[in-house]
Structure 1
Amino acid sequence: MLCLTLTGSTLEEDRLQIERNRPWISLAELRLDCLSEAEQAKAAHFPEQVDIPLILTNRRVSDGGKATGSEKARLQTLFDASRGTFAYVDIEGDVKKAELKFKVPGQEGRVDLEADLRARGVKIIRSHHDFEGVPADIYGRISRLAAHGDIPKVAVTVQNLMDLITIFRIESELASVEEKIIVGMGSWGIPARILYRRCGSMLSFCCDSEAAAPGQLTARTMSELYHSDRIDEKTHIYAVIGNPVYHTASPKIHNPGFAAIHYNAVYVPFLVDQVRTFFKIAEMLQIRGFSVTVPHKRSVLPYLGRITREVKQIGSCNTVVRVKGMWKGINTDYYGFLAPIADRISDGTIKSALIVGAGGAARAVAWALHNHGVKITIVNRTLETARILAEQTMSSYDSLEHADLYSGTVDLVVQTTTVGMGGNDNP
């Protein structure tokens, strides 16, 4: 299920957010802490205004919310709103039972919020948020949150691939906890949001336009691009790895392509620091293949069982596929670069070229041009890197500072650096 986090300052804004995202979501989370006091007072009636199950939350600042008053006042606001017909109520795991007893006008004694919710068939979510990392005892923490039959929710900040492995292991470690909510926050946690079912999570949170938590994607992106709500145990997983990686347009190409041929598959971006660790995730998730972008086109090579002739010559790889239980490296940059200019090379229109950069993409370009008789000059910020590639491809090389000197002297300029990626200025 995809759950829309409502961030409007009024209930009407929240209603409109639901209306805009209704085709893609199964439920929504009403955030009391985003509302004014006047709007909070009307929140109990909000479920009557929408046709979707709701989670009620009043998130404190320390857990990423906006509730700034006293803890007693925050919980009172939650209790007052909970009198409405909400499907779920989120209560932080460290809130003590004694703090959940409230006076109700006209009634003797105090009402126990937990007992009242259970009596009305409202499910309780017990949550824990960690913005510093993934706690070492995360599996035990989830078990404790679920101890009384409540739905445990952990939202933790994923800081690297090892943290992501911990998140993806939750389902195998805690399969007995049938209903649970697992959230991997931050850029490193985005794959866990998309593949939430592989973490054993019953839902994944998404937003209308502005993320309510680090790494949150829009409901439309989660549903239409990644089909996250339709991923099952039979879905084949593909990936693109890099650092940075979220600038790439690859998911917008591959996922619609899979849908067009009715292939039950998803293509997911992974921010990768250590290639070795990613291969562990690839085995864990049974990833079928992945694209490789900067800076891993060369560092991926030691982990491949087979490579093509082009990869061996170029020394870099941009595509990895699983063949008969073995990882095979391919370089499609070589042929992809040549395809649109092959005729101009053949008819002599392109006889010389200037390559800007000397990384993995530059290596594919240099070898493609060299193998077709084009005279090459390589310019790069690090002169030694340019020299090595130039010697291998029998080319000339120069410092990037001198690139302007070649203006008008070559038939083709190829820009292979990261300029223009990830929000940088366009070349």
Structure 2
Amino acid sequence: MEIAVESGVRPMEMGVGMGKNQTLICAPIMADTVDQMVELMHKAKFKGADIVEVRLDHLKSLDHRPDIEVLIRQCPLPTLFTYRPTWEGGEYNGDEESRFEALQLAMELGADHIDIELKAAHEFMNFTRGNKPEKCKIIVSSHNYEYTPSVEDLGNLVARIQAAGADIVKFATTALDITDVARVFQITVHSQFVDRQVPIIAMVMGERGLMSRILCPKFGGYLTFGTLEEGKVSAPGQPTIDELISLYNFRSIDTDTKVFGIIGKPVSHSKSPKLYNRAFKEDGINGVFVHLLVDDVNKFFDTYSSPDFSGFSCTIPHKEAALARCDEVDPVAKSIGAVNCLIRRLDGKLFGCNTDYVGAISSIEIGLQGSQNGATHTGSPLAGKLFVVIGAGGAGKALAYGAKEKGARVVIANRSYDRARDLAELVGGKALTLAELSNFQPETGMILANTTSIGMQPNIEETPISKEALRNYELVFDAIYTPKITRLLREAQEAGSKIVTGVEMFIGQAYEQYERFTGLPAPKQLFRDIMADY
């Protein structure tokens, strides 16, 4: 598999003779007391973890032998004992001899794994004189909380960890860009499938490194970490056990799994993984759909150029830049000037299309008709309507194009008048600044469509137009679906307008994307059922 394309890096090739998913899910156990830890261990088993990491440094006090005996004896899962010092991102601030004694005791009393930092490994090995039970595996770890080193430096790091006496290699780096993850994938694949070295745990911390945690089984990782509860993490960017198993279908990921994802900034709010991963599972598709926090579209596609990275949804603010990156573009998307769906063909080339306008326009037509049929035999209910689009980005272009095609008169309102004017000229419409919108009241019965992020979580009290001005609109649509009812929609309802939520557009645009991704009919009722709670 080709992942990284950068100076001095040879693209990786995968796909022959690889194993199935043997990657463990490890739950970090962090609590003030031993009793609380034991309770959390049983919770971890119930949730589906394979192993627990016992973070001794989080205990308020530790009576070495009796406490460690209880933790091992009462744990329903295999154990990994960690006693992380503050100098490596942990909570322990005592002397090293006491720390080493606790880890040695854990080994002797039946721990399955212990974790010692690379900086302390030599000293620890001398302390134990190299004696350890055969059952216990020593993980030697290194954490970089600042950045992700080069492939060469990561390779050297793995060699130093091995030389320190590791049974299992572990390193964690920090993602400054999502492309940093590719270097870690390269090292993991090379270690497991080329050199056949010791098992490796390799993570990239932070939101940009999320896929390193989800795709461990694809690239040969020994384990990944899943938290018991959202927000209670032992390192930045950890998903929950529930998310790994139920959202990302972690147990089904293997070396042949195709990777799909939503490209955006921000992107963590997107519900796309909920739709596609559930549908993949029900349709028997060996694929996983992940959140991809992308800063630079060109850099992303240069790096993840393999056919194994098979398809992408695209959201704010990358829809126009993604179009420029495509090798082939659907004529409608080319007219709109933006794509929201990209398919990687077997030859590595990217095909782009736009499903936004179909999802949005059809949901607005249905809202106007008050039925599930949308347009009537006499044509679209949008014909002749004054259709005001807020925003001149990718989604704004899609809505403006779709409204024009349905016979509406289009007005573009945007913070930048120049961008509004450019789009208005393309669709034969009128341009306004956003500041002028509240005073724009040429007629009643208009349609308003917000395609910007104004009002999206966490800024839910923002709105692009005054409540008073909303009385002139028959229907108000908001492309945002987090929250489902934005301030704009709430105030539109109060002003007497019909409303259409971004959930309707989201579901509508997802139908065609799923069919593009898989070649199968979209599970329309399933998508509606999943989104019913949003």
| Aligned positions of 1:227-238 closer than 5 A | 227-238=249-260
- Report the CA distance between 1:289 and its aligned residue: 0.8
Aligned partner (choices 297, 302, 320) of residue 298 of structure 1: 320
The answer (yes or no) to whether the contact 2:341–2:353 under 8 Å persists in 1 is: yes
Q: Does 1:329 align with 2:364?
A: no
Aligned residue identity for 1:20: K
Shift, 1:333, TM fit: 0.3
What is the DSSP-based 3-state SS (H/G/I as helix, E as strand, rest coil) of the residue aligned with 1:174? helix
Aligned length: 416
Q: Which runs of 5+ in 2 are unaligned?
A: 1-23, 369-374, 461-485, 488-534
Tell me what 2:371 maps to: none
What is the aligned-residue RMSD (CA, Å)?
2.1
TM-score (normalised: structure 2): 0.74
1:366 and 2:400 matched: yes
Residue aligning to 1:130: 144
Aligned-partner residue type, residue 373 of structure 1: G
Among 187, 198, 206, the residue aligned to 1:186 = 206
Q: Which amino acid aligns with 1:240?
A: I
**Aligned pairs for 1:70-81 within 5 A:** 70-81=95-106
Cα contact 1:171–1:198 (8 A) shared by 2: no
State the one-letter code of the partner of 2:25.
Answer: L
Q: Which residue, 188, 206, 231 being the options, matches 1:171? A: 188
- Residue 233 of structure 2 is matched in structure 1 by 211
Could you tell me how far apart the structure 2 residues matched to 1:68 and 1:406 are?
64
**Among 59, 71, 77, the residue aligned to 1:52:** 77
**1:99 & 1:167 partners in 2: Cα distance?**
27
1:81, distance to aligned residue in structure 2 (A)? 3.7
Give the conservation status (yes or no) of the 8 Å contact 1:289–1:321.
Answer: yes
Whether the 8 Å CA contact 2:175–2:181 is kept in 1: the answer is yes
The letter for the 2-side match of 1:226 is Y
Letter in 2 for 1:158: A
TM-score by length of 1: 0.91
- Mapped to 1, the partners of 2:423 and 2:430 lie a distance apart of 9
**Relative to structure 1, is the Cα distance of residues 139 and 77 closer, same or farther in structure 2, using a 3 angstrom cutoff?**
same
2:421 is equivalent to residue 396 of structure 1:
no
Q: Which moved more, 1:218-227 or 1:42-51?
A: 42-51
The yes-or-no answer on 1:86 pairing with 2:111 is: yes
Distance 1:274 1:39 in 2: 51
Aligned CA distance change for structure 1 residues 201 and 324 (closer, same or farther; 3 Å):
closer
Aligned match of 1:35: 59
Structure 1 residue 191: Cα displacement: 0.8
CA distance in 1, matches of 2:266, 2:56: 35
In structure 1, the residue matched to 2:448 is 413
Deviation at 1:265, TM superposition (A): 1.2
Amino-acid identity (%): 30
Q: Is 1:116 aligned to residue 138 of structure 2? A: no
Task: Choose which of 1, 18, 30 in structure 2 pairs with 1:7.
Answer: 30
CA distance in 2, matches of 1:349, 1:227: 41
Shift of 1:78: 2.7
Query: Which amino acid in the other structure matches residue 183 of structure 1?
Result: M
1:377 maps to a residue whose letter is V
**Partner letter of residue 403 of structure 2?**
L
Q: 1:324 to 1:285 in 2, by over 3 A?
A: closer
Partner of 1:26: 50
**Structure 1: which amino acid aligns with 2:315?**
T
Partner of 1:341: 364
SS state at 1:142 partner: helix
**Does the CA contact (< 8 Å) of 2:249 and 2:281 recur in 1?**
no
Deviates more, 1:257-266 or 1:25-34: 257-266
CA positional deviation for 1:6: 0.8
Contact 1:170 1:199 in 2 (8 A): no
Residue 359 to residue 190, structure 1, CA distance change in 2 (3 Å): same
Say which is worse superposed, 68-77 or 378-387, in terms of deviation: 68-77
Secondary structure of the 2:239 match is: coil
Unaligned ranges ≥5, structure 1 = 103-110
Runs of 4+ in 1 over 6 A off after TM superposition: none
Q: 1:387 to 1:347 in 2, by over 3 A?
A: closer
Corresponding residue number in structure 2 for 1:66: 91
Given that 1:225 and 1:255 are in contact with CA atoms closer than 8 Å, whether structure 2 keeps it comes out as: yes
Write the letter of the residue equivalent to 1:88.
Answer: H
Report the CA distance shift for 1:252/1:242 in structure 2 as closer, same or farther (over 3 A): same
How far has the Cα of 1:273 moved from its partner?
1.5
Task: Point out the more displaced range, 319-328 or 202-211.
Answer: 319-328
**Deviation digits for residues 299-332 of structure 1, max 9, x if unmatched?**
1123212111111100000001134523110100
User: What secondary structure does 1:19 align onto?
Assistant: helix
Counterpart amino acid of 1:55? L
CA contact (8 A) 1:189 1:215 kept: yes
What is the deviation of 1:97? 3.3
Cα deviation 1:50-78 (Å, max 9, x = unaligned): 22111000011222211122333333333
